[in-house]
Amino acid sequence: MSVRWGIAGPGRMAAVMAADFAHVPGAELVAVGSRSAERAQAFADQFGIPRALDYDAFFAADIDAVYLATPHAQHTDLALAAIEAGKAVLIEKSFTISVADSIAIVEAARARGVFAMEAMWTRFLPAMIELRRMVEAGDLGEVRTIQGDLIAAREYDPADRLFNPELGGGAVYDLGVYVLAFVQQFLGEPDRVVATGGLLPNGVEGEVGMLLGWDDGRFASEAISFRVAGPGRQLVAGTQGWVDVKPRFHRAETLVWHPRGGEPRELHFPKRGAGYCHEIEHVNQCLAEGLTESPVMPLDDTLAVQRLMAEVVRQLGR
């Protein structure tokens, strides 16, 4: 079965993703939707996409699945429109910038029986699939702590999506989503989070340290920042050994397995394309199986991470 995909929001990320469609047999890029006819056409010409449409025509078109790549604050209306039109929808991270909006999308998708998933592409990388396999097989024993960061120095530009609050700017919704989704997949939703850090001149978070705790004593510590340069690594530690996820973990290809008392082993798992083709393939597979949610990135995981991000932002006084 070939899945007919449309891209909504033809910007920077959409261009990276469009190139990765070439690596997915069975995924056909058939349309692009934009607020501007000119921008849609320019994007369609660049990537050889047959149709450039305004959003009304886009959601009415013969498309099976929509990849939504507008800034996160602009995901909700378009996601709801896709669901209403009966299209499967792959929504860029962060899903939204509010728990209420995220719940609205999840409830709409479940009520309509339409597939929806947050585009947390990291979970679909071959290295991550192997790490989950190792954890599920018990190789690490019981995983009790995770420590890491996603630190990315960026020049402050209050107009840019990364910083502009109208577009969902701030380190939590751009970087925090990755580290929290990483921890959540292994340890689940924490019982508490304590966040500290600093805001940028326009009031969005520039740097944040987060300590996550579970009532049974497990914990995780994660750092995110736009202000300093840093590695972007993760360490997953269990009673029988630990795994270093080599930088940058959100696009990892290398794991170093340190069995307790044994010699470390470096394991390589190359990704294809820019690494986004794996999530596209996963959505295609889910649709072929008639699933309305991904077993790897379920909507309940998205909601758990959204609750955490909202709490972190609240504690920082935003």
Ligand X SMILES: NC(=O)c1ccc[n+]([C@@H]2O[C@H](COP(=O)([O-])OP(=O)(O)OC[C@H]3O[C@@H](n4cnc5c(N)ncnc54)[C@H](OP(=O)(O)O)[C@@H]3O)[C@@H](O)[C@H]2O)c1
Contacts of residue 107, defined as CB under 8 A and 6 or more positions apart, other chains included, come to: none
Beta bridge partners of 190: none
**Minimum distance, C-beta of residue 252 to ligand X, in the bound complex (Å):** 13
**Minimum distance, C-beta of residue 216 to ligand X, in the bound complex (Å):** 32
- Among residues 162 and 193, whose Cβ is nearest to ligand X? 162
Helix (H, G, I), strand (E, B) or coil at 19: helix
Q: Which region, judged by CB under 6 A, interacts with ligand X, from 35-43, 101-109, 151-159, 185-193?
A: 35-43
**Minimum distance, C-beta of residue 293 to ligand X, in the bound complex (Å):** 19
Footprint (CB under 6 A) of ligand X, residues 141-180: 161, 174
Q: Assess 69 for contact with ligand X (CB under 6 A).
A: yes
Give residue 271's Cα distance to chain centre: 16
Helix (H, G, I), strand (E, B) or coil at 16: helix
Dist CA 302 CA 295 (whole Å): 12
Q: Assess 70 for contact with ligand X (CB under 6 A).
A: yes
- Among residues 83 and 140, whose Cβ is nearest to ligand X? 83
Dist CA 27 CA 228 (whole Å): 39
Per residue, the 3-state secondary structure of 108-171, as one string, reads HHHHHCCCEEEECHHHHCHHHHHHHHHHHHCCCCCEEEEEEEEECCCCCCCCCCCCCHHHCCCH
**Minimum distance, C-beta of residue 231 to ligand X, in the bound complex (Å):** 17
Q: Assess 306 for contact with ligand X (CB under 6 A).
A: no
Among residues 36, 46, 196, 239, the one that binds ligand X under rule CB under 6 A: 36
Q: Assess 96 for contact with ligand X (CB under 6 A).
A: no
Q: Assess 34 for contact with ligand X (CB under 6 A).
A: yes
Q: What is the secondary structure of 29-83 as a DSSP string?
A: EEEEE-S-HHHHHHHHHHHT-SEEE-HHHHHHSS-SEEEE-S-GGGHHHHHHHHH
- Among residues 93 and 278, whose Cβ is nearest to ligand X? 93
- Among residues 34 and 284, whose Cβ is nearest to ligand X? 34
**Minimum distance, C-beta of residue 308 to ligand X, in the bound complex (Å):** 17
Q: Assess 74 for contact with ligand X (CB under 6 A).
A: yes
Residue type, 295: P
**Minimum distance, C-beta of residue 248 to ligand X, in the bound complex (Å):** 11
Dist CA 111 CA 128 (whole Å): 31
Q: Assess 10 for contact with ligand X (CB under 6 A).
A: yes
Q: Assess 46 for contact with ligand X (CB under 6 A).
A: no
Binding residues for ligand X, rule: CB under 6 A, are 9-13, 34-36, 39, 69-72, 74, 92-93, 119, 121, 161, 174
